[in-house]
Amino acid sequence: GENVEQHPSTLSVQEGDSAVIKCTYSDSASNYFPWYKQELGKRPQLIIDIRSNVGEKKDQRIAVTLNKTAKHFSLHITETQPEDSAVYFCAASTPWDAGNMLTFGGGTRLMVKP
Q: Does 43 bind another protein (CB under 8 A)?
A: yes
Region binding another protein by CB under 8 A among candidate stretches 13-21, 42-50, 58-66, 71-79: 42-50
**Minimum CB distance to another protein smaller for 66 or for 105:** 105
Beta strands in 15-61 (DSSP E): 19-25, 32-38, 45-51, 56-59
Is residue 100 helix, strand or coil? strand
Q: Which residue in 32, 63, 65, 76 binds another protein (CB under 8 A)?
A: 32
24 CA to centre of own chain = 10
Rule CB under 8 A: is residue 19 a binding residue for another protein?
Answer: no
Establish how many alpha carbons lie within 13 A of residue 98's alpha carbon, considering only the half-sphere containing its beta carbon. Answer: 0
For position 64 contacting another protein by CB under 8 A, the verdict is: no
Please identify which residue in 86, 105, 110, 112 interacts with another protein, judged by CB under 8 A: 105
d(CA 9, CA 38): 14
DSSP letters, 7-24, are E-SEEEEETTS-EEEEEE
- Binding status of residue 30 toward another protein by CB under 8 A: no
Q: Which residues bind another protein (CB under 8 A)?
A: 1, 6, 32, 34, 42-46, 49, 89, 95, 97-107
